[in-house]
């Protein structure tokens, strides 16, 4: 499951520097036909950016996913199962996008 969430993180981390910027959030959401404003992305980052660098590292990203997917009381396996809608043991981009639509 760590690998699956790492892949999702990488989907957002366009420059592969291990951090997600607000620009990368906006770009990725728009690519997935899930429009988000820069202001909304800034609010997300501000809420989960624990070290104050105005970017999301992997652990901060996981905290965001846990809160907004309403599965904060479940271990990572529960998070994985939430995204793996067809139960095949893999999270496709389409399953990820569909999960985000329920936010």
pLDDT tens digits, residue range 42-70?
A: 998 999 999 999 999 999 998 887 776 65
Quick one: tokens of 92?
Answer: 């496709």
Label residue 72 by pLDDT band (50, 70, 90): very low
Top-confidence residue, 92 or 26: 26
- pLDDT computed for residue 9 by the predictor: 92
- pLDDT computed for residue 50 by the predictor: 96
Multiple choice CATH, 2-101, 1.20.1440.120, 1.10.238.10, 1.10.3430.10, 3.40.50.300 = 1.10.238.10
Whole-angstrom distance, CA of residue 92 vs CA of residue 24: 20
- pLDDT computed for residue 35 by the predictor: 81
The answer to whether residues 56 and 19 touch, using CB atoms and an 8 Å cutoff, is yes
Label residue 76 by pLDDT band (50, 70, 90): low
Whole-angstrom distance, CA of residue 16 vs CA of residue 98: 24
- pLDDT computed for residue 21 by the predictor: 97
Q: What is the mean pLDDT of the chain?
A: 83
């Amino acid at each position: 499951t760590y690998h699956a969430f790492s892949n999702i993180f990488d989907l957002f981390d366009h420059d592969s520097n291990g951090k997600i910027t607000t620009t990368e959030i906006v770009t990725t959401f728009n690519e997935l036909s899930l429009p988000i404003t820069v202001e909304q992305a800034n609010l997300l980052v501000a809420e989960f950016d624990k070290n104050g660098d105005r970017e999301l590292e992997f652990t901060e990203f996981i905290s965001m996913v846990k809160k907004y997917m309403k599965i904060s009381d479940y271990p990572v396996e529960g998070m994985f199962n939430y995204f793996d809608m067809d139960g095949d043991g893999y999270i496709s981009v389409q399953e990820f996008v569909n999960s985000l639509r329920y936010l």
